[in-house]
């Protein structure tokens, strides 16, 4: 059992939990993820590590409720427990593992999309703590779902954008990047993390601008230890397991269209479960489709 | 009077009924049936059957006790050699091991050694008979990585010798392949596997789930910072292989491990559980081993028409005979001497078929089996909406790549001495699938036993 020591709502639709998990906190690095399971009937949900405190033994996760499992997670309060919390999984970000003398020379721009802001944070923070300056673009649909502005502003030069112009630059993150480059900024590396579609467009832009780009893939996973192959992604002409070979890959080599199709593989099944969950006992059945009346 | 040349038949669920549920297929012997079957054993002085059992259970002695109705004695005879008889009695490939050597098998059918072993173990469990209490603690700590048959056996034996043992398991549940791979209908989880895990715990073994050695903590850290005097690696061979043919990353293509894990570990077949599984209408399972049979029979129970696609002939099917027989009874279609060359996708990247070629058997290859060769121009398509790849597995490099000085071979298997389990790194031992590559429960268990002895010897000298 893993105790939730702090639970917080960050925006209209984004939640944060700080979890006591000493083994994970002792060994995790930016770029890695964990898997949680709520209860005995729960599924294994992969979530990126957003922060960690080695002394307190805690790990922070930030998530957006989209289906049954993440919706159930919203209700967990301070003092509640996750049944399982395993990690760290995946490989640390190359910024952390590569030769620091090389990393130091690089000018890095992060592009964070929506809830993807959270996983960008530990990487930017790591650079900041090691005396390396970086730029960060945070993009969100509108002001009320933009998260972590304050923390982020402490670890990098922040550029905010909203699709509807309700805050900061009006437009998507990639438009902001193009603007920065046209104003004379130079970048050696871009790290783009967010929804698959956002990473796809970020990669199209950085390819045009000639900026090498790392993305963090979030395919469907089961075990997260390399045992099932559910997380297969096509990188160049190779098939990789995102949970052990990634989750970060060279974004210019990823087949995003295929990755998006694979991510939707259980859409019908998930939708059915979500409907049953939302309607709960009021679910009357009779449609004969969802199995809820069986 | 029953025919002594034949086994006493074992009661099974009707194929039509069981094809729609996940309950155990084989119902096992009752007391009378067990005693009757035991009568068929000739109690051979030079018992051939024992030579076929990898852990040399004293078969004539235990069957002799069953004959006399002394099941407690039978259990204690088995327990001298095996820690997991309820499991081995169910899943050992008996026809190529103990029963394959039985004298009775020359003229008629071999004695049903596996079914008798299962009967005795089930009886003991129902009586609440527990393994012998542990000796006094000797104050030495051993870490066991992985909770499959190798790890459970090694941990149990060491605890009996007085060691302070902790098992570290990556998944959220202990049991290894016994819980995530082999389905409920062959090996009930709550009924059979869980009690075995509880037995090991009752010896004082601690099990820490959700710990991935090599990620959460390394072997070097366990030894240097957490005070473990020795480590046993029983991490199995869980990495699934794919064929590398076009279309293999299409939606609807799964590894058998994914399909079985969703169904067994995550219980996706049960509406109460949140994990989804894809209910295909027409499923192709590629491969011919136990894993392929399990995946096929699982898909069948989820409502699909299922084809097993295997490139050699029935004779070479590596699965246990009983599994093949059961699969056929349940209505699995065997497309033998058939090899997939491409998976066909529709416009949404979903599987819509599998393109195959016919094969014929040529000269024997290095393994002694006749090599399948493609029949030219024999390409044909089978319409399916799901493909399950069951081509074998290999050890995961997670541990070997994070442990200083641990030697592995070309096949990524950990190199370990057969009689002691000792690896190239002092104080670190290994056994089971992590050393041999994918093998069997009984071999993994045997390796766990040998390693426990090896560790005891090593730490006694230290
Ligand atoms: C390495 C990794 C890191 C992630 N980090 C975060 C994060 O920091 N914050 C966050 O909000 N989300 C993150 N996700 C996504 C998160 O795991 C899914 O949103 C979650 O599993 C959805 O579960 P659900 O039951 O609520 O929704 P469902 O309705 O079951 O699924 C909604 C969608 O989520 C995806 N999904 C479903 N199940 C899984 C699964 N087992 N593994 C991966 N994706 C799945 C699918 O695309 C699916 O269509 C990450 C995913 C991965 C693989
Ligand atoms: C579907 C299927 C059907 C089978 N049917 C049969 C059969 O009928 N008869 C038979 O004899 N054999 C059968 N086998 C083979 C048999 O199950 C295996 O040979 C046996 O389980 C191997 O035991 P093991 O203890 O070496 O490893 P496993 O049972 O594989 O256990 C290894 C454990 O280690 C854990 N682990 C791995 N890496 C780490 C890590 N880094 N840190 C912590 N934990 C880790 C894994 O999660 C797993 O729980 C079957 C296998 C499968 C997959
Ligand atoms: S352990 Fe396996 S091989 Fe040995 S006697 Fe039992 S069933 Fe036969
Ligand atoms: S070989 Fe057969 S008949 Fe002889 S002791 Fe073994 S089981 Fe009994
Ligand atoms: S999630 Fe199972 S192999 Fe990656
Ligand atoms: Mg879900």
From the CA of B214, how far away is ligand 2's center (Å)? Answer: 18
User: Which of A26, A86, A232 is opposite residue B249, by nearest beta carbon?
Assistant: A232
Name the B residues in 294-323 with CB < 8 Å from any A CB: none
Residues in chain A within 8 Å Cβ distance of B249: 232, 234, 239, 258, 262
CB-ligand 2 contact for B440 (6 Å cutoff): yes
| B452 backbone φψ class: left, alpha, beta (φ>0; ψ -120 to 50) | alpha
Among the listed residues A272, A279, A195, A224, the one whose alpha carbon sits nearest the alpha carbon of residue B277:
A272
CA A229 – CA B256 distance, rounded (Å): 9
Protein residues whose CB sits closer than 6 Å to any atom of ligand 5: A 221-224, 226-231, 241, 243
Token code pair at residue B122: 């089930």
The pair phi, psi for residue A6, each rounded to 5°, is -155, 135
Model pLDDT for residues B252-307, shown as the tens digit of each residue: 999 999 999 999 999 999 988 999 999 889 999 999 999 999 999 999 999 999 99
Protein residues whose CB sits closer than 6 Å to any atom of ligand 4: B 41-44, 47-49, 59-60, 63, 102-104, 111, 113
How confident is the model over A80-96, as a mean pLDDT? 95
User: Which of B215, B240, B242 is opposite residue A27, by nearest beta carbon?
Assistant: B215
**Tens place of pLDDT for every residue, chain B, 462 residues?**
468 889 999 999 999 999 999 999 999 999 999 999 999 999 999 999 999 999 899 999 999 999 999 999 999 999 888 889 999 999 999 999 999 999 999 999 999 999 999 999 999 999 988 877 777 889 999 999 999 999 999 999 999 999 999 999 999 999 999 999 999 999 999 999 999 999 899 889 999 999 999 999 999 999 999 999 999 999 999 999 999 999 999 999 999 999 999 999 999 999 889 999 998 899 999 999 999 999 999 999 999 999 999 999 998 899 988 899 999 999 999 999 999 999 999 988 999 999 999 999 888 888 787 888 999 999 999 999 999 999 999 998 889 989 989 999 998 999 999 999 999 999 999 999 999 999 999 999 999 999 999 999 999 987
CA A42 – CA B323 distance, rounded (Å): 31
Residues in binding site of A for [2Fe-2S] cluster: 228, 231, 243
CB-ligand 2 contact for B441 (6 Å cutoff): yes
Query: CA Rg, chain B, in Å?
Result: 23
How confident is the model over A134-139, as a mean pLDDT? 93
Residues in chain A within 8 Å Cβ distance of B272: 41
The answer, yes or no, to whether the previous bond of A247 is cis (omega within 30 of 0) is: yes
Nearest CA-CA distance, residue B56 and chain A, Å: 32
- Reported in sequence order, the residue ranges of chain A that DSSP labels E, i.e. its strands, are 2-11, 14-20, 33-37, 45-53, 58-63, 81-82, 84-89, 108-113, 134-140, 157-162, 169-170, 189-193, 213-216, 232-235, 238-241, 248-250
Residues in chain A within 8 Å Cβ distance of B267: 41
Residues in chain B within 8 Å Cβ distance of A23: 211, 216-217
CB-ligand 2 contact for B163 (6 Å cutoff): no
pLDDT at A279 over 80: no
Instruction: Using a CB–CB cutoff of 8 Å, tell me whether B220 touches chain A.
Output: no
Torsion of CA B148, B271, A261, A118, to 10 degrees: -70
Model pLDDT for residues A156-194, shown as the tens digit of each residue: 999 999 988 888 888 888 988 999 899 999 999 999 999
Nearest CA-CA distance, residue A92 and chain B, Å: 11
């Amino acid at each position: 059992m893993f105790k939730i020591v702090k639970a917080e709502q960050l925006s209209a639709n984004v939640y944060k939990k700080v979890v006591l998990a000493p083994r994970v906190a002792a060994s995790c690095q930016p770029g890695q993820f964990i898997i949680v399971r709520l209860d005995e009937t729960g599924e294994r949900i992969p979530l990126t590590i957003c922060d960690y405190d080695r002394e307190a033994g805690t790990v922070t996760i930030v998530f957006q409720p989209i289906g049954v499992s993440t919706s159930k997670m919203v209700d967990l309060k301070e003092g509640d427990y996750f049944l399982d919390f395993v990690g760290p999984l995946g490989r640390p970000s190359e910024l952390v593992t590569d030769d620091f003398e090389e990393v130091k020379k690089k000018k890095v721009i992060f592009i964070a999309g929506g809830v993807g802001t959270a996983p960008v944070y530990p990487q930017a923070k790591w650079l900041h703590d090691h005396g390396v300056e970086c730029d960060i673009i945070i993009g969100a649909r509108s002001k009320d779902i933009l998260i972590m502005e304050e923390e982020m502003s402490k670890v990098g030069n922040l550029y905010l954008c909203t699709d509807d112009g309700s805050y900061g630059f009006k437009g998507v993150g990639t438009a902001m990047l193009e603007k920065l480059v046209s104003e004379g900024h130079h970048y050696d590396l871009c790290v783009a993390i967010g929804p698959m579609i956002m990473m796809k467009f970020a990669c199209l832009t950085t390819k045009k601008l000639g900026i090498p780009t790392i993305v963090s893939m979030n395919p469907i996973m089961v075990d997260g230890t390399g045992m099932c192959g559910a997380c297969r992604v096509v990188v160049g002409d190779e098939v990789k397991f995102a949970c052990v070979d990634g989750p970060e890959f060279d974004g210019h080599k990823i087949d995003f269209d295929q990755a998006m199709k694979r991510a939707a593989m259980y859409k019908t099944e998930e939708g059915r479960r979500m409907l049953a969950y939302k309607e709960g006992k009021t679910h009357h059945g009779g449609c004969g489709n969802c199995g809820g009346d069986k | 009077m029953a025919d002594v040349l034949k086994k006493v038949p074992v009661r099974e669920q009707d194929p039509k009924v069981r094809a729609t549920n996940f309950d155990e297929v084989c119902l096992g012997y009752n007391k009378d049936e067990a005693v009757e079957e035991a009568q068929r054993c000739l109690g051979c002085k030079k018992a051939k059957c024992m030579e076929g059992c990898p852990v040399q259970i004293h078969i004539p002695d235990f069957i002799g006790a069953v004959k006399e109705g002394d099941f407690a004695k039978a259990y204690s005879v088995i327990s001298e050699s095996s820690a997991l008889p309820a499991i081995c009695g169910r899943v050992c490939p008996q026809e190529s091991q103990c029963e394959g050597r039985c004298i009775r098998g020359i003229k008629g059918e071999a004695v049903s050694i596996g079914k008798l072993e299962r009967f005795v173990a089930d009886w003991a469990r129902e009586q609440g008979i527990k393994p012998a209490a542990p000796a006094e603690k000797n104050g030495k700590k051993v870490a066991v990585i992985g909770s499959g048959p190798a790890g459970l056996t090694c941990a149990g034996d060491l605890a009996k010798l007085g060691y302070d043992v902790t098992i570290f398991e990556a998944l959220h549940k202990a049991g290894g392949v016994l819980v995530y791979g082999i389905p409920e209908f062959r090996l009930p989880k709550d009924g059979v596997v869980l009690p075995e895990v509880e037995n090991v715990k009752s010896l004082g073994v601690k099990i820490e789930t959700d710990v991935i050695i090599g990620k959460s903590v390394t072997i070097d850290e366990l030894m240097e910072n957490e005070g473990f005097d020795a480590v046993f690696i029983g991490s199995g061979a869980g990495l699934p292989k794919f064929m590398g043919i076009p279309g293999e990353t299409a939606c609807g293509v799964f590894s058998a491990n994914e399909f079985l894990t969703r169904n067994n570990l995550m219980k996706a077949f049960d509406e109460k559980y949140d994990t989804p599984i894809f209910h295909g209408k027409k499923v192709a399972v590629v491969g011919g081993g136990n894993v392929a049979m399990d995946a096929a029979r699982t898909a069948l129970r989820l409502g699909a028409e299922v084809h097993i696609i295997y490139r050699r002939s029935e004779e070479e099917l590596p699965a246990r005979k009983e599994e093949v027989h059961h699969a056929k009874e349940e209505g699995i279609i065997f497309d033998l001497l058939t090899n997939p060359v491409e998976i066909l996708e529709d416009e949404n990247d979903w599987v819509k078929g599998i393109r195959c070629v016919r094969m014929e058997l040529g000269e024997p290859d290095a393994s002694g089996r006749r090599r399948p060769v493609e029949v030219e121009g024999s390409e044909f398509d089978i319409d399916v909406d799901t493909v399950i790849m069951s081509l074998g597995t290999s050890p995961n490099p997670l541990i070997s790549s994070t442990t200083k000085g641990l030697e592995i071979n070309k096949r990524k298997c950990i190199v370990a001495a057969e009689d002691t389990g000792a690896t190239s790194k002092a104080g670190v031992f290994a056994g089971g699938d992590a050393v041999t590559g994918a093998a069997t429960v009984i071999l993994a268990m045997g390796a766990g036993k040998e390693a426990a002895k090896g560790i005891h010897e090593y730490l006694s000298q230290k």
